[in-house]
Each structure stands twice: as structure tokens, then as C-alpha cells.
Amino acid sequence: MKNPLDSIWGTIISGLVLTAILFVFVANFLVK
Amino acid sequence: MELVIDRWLHVLAGITWIGLLYYFNLVQAVALPKAKADNTAAGITKHIAPLALLWFRWAALATWLSGAYYLERSGIGLGNAFLLKGAAAPIGIGAWLGTIMLFNVWVLIWPNQKKVLGIVPADDATKAKGARVAFLASRTNTMLSIPMLFFMVAGPHGGHLF
């Protein structure tokens, strides 16, 4: 599998996915 | 007033840091292989990259220090942020991401770029390995900057999202 960080768009999409995951985590488990 | 000046410095340093990070990733990393192909890379590697890295690494440190000062003095608490406690959790996520990024700058990117740019002596194999490590650390920071900036603006002091 190709490393997504080798391309700019792979990097940006990875950042957006990580943002969504962290948002769900913070909203549901850390901030009540 | 002290906190406003600190926040102001934090944003100024942050723009300098992340602006140069985006320059490295969106411009220099794309242009350098093409410049090497037509033998015009020396202008970038000898004159532009060392100066950009100078501002980049010190702006990273200034951003982190001014951010840590703000967290402590504003009543949020540095400990509360890093322990992701309650309302401090969103900015705490941003602080953690910024801290990982600062580590990448000073421990992975700068020492390896010194070898790649010939600031410290290194053989070709070490330079090639260093270039790959620095590239991936820089791309990791670009990826992390996306959620980091989201959590910087999404906390109670920002858009009231949480």
C-alpha cells in the first residue's frame, strides 16, 4: 500500500479524516 | 493586555511556522526535483532552504512557548489542557498536536535537513535516509496541522463548538 503522505492530497485527506475522528472523540468522551 | 499581546505573538509566530511548513510541502518539495533535473537546485538548497528552516524552527518554538504561557495564565491551565480535562479538552488536543509537531521540527526535521543540505558532513546514504525521514516528518506535520488548527479555533474561546 502506498504511503498517503507521499502525495499532497493524501496528506490533506488524512488530516481531514484525523480531524473528524478527534472531533467525535472529544465531543463524545471528553466534553460533556 | 498581557494575554492579548501573548495571543497576538502566538498567532504571528504560528503563521510564520505553519506558513513555512506549507511552503516546504506545497512549493519546495514539488519544485526541488524539477530544479535538480535542470541543475538549478543550488539556489534553493544553498540560499532559500537554510533561511526558511531558520525562521521555521524558531517560529515553532516561539509558537509553543507563547501558547503554553497563554494556557497557564488565562486560567485554562497547562495541566488541564494536556490532561484533556473538561472544557480544556479541545484546546488540549490542539496543544498535544502542536507539541508533537514541535518535536518533529527539532528532533526529526532540522537534524536531518542539516545533513541533507550539507550543513553537517554526511555520506550519500545518510543524506538519502535523512531526506526521507525529514520529508515524512514534514508531511506528518502538515497532516497534523489540519486538526491542530481546527481545535485551536473550536474551543470555548473561539467558535463555541464544544
Cβ-Cβ contacts under 8 Å, B146 against chain A: 12, 15-16, 18-19
**Chain A partners of B26 at a C-beta cutoff of 8 Å?**
8
Residue of A nearest to B87 (CA): A31
d(CA B2, CA B131): 41
pLDDT of residue A1: 79
Residue indicated by cell numbers 518539495: B29
> Is residue B159 situated within a structural domain?
no
Range of the domain at B98: 2-154
Total domains in chain B come to: 1
User: What is the average per-residue pLDDT within B96-119?
Assistant: 96
Q: What digits encode the pLDDT tens for the residues B44-83?
A: 999 999 999 999 999 999 999 999 999 999 999 999 999 9
What is the pLDDT, as a whole number, of residue B161?
62
pTM: 0.93
Q: Is residue B160 part of a domain?
A: no
Q: What is the DSSP letter of A10?
A: H
Half-sphere exposure of A4 (CA within 13 A, CB side): 13
Please name which of B94, B65, B64 lies closest in space to residue B82, comparing C-alpha atoms. B94
Under 8 Å CB-to-CB from B93, ≥6 apart: which residues?
Answer: A22, A26, B84, B147, B151
At B35, which amino acid appears? A
Mean pLDDT highest for which of B130-134, B151-155, B158-162? Answer: B130-134
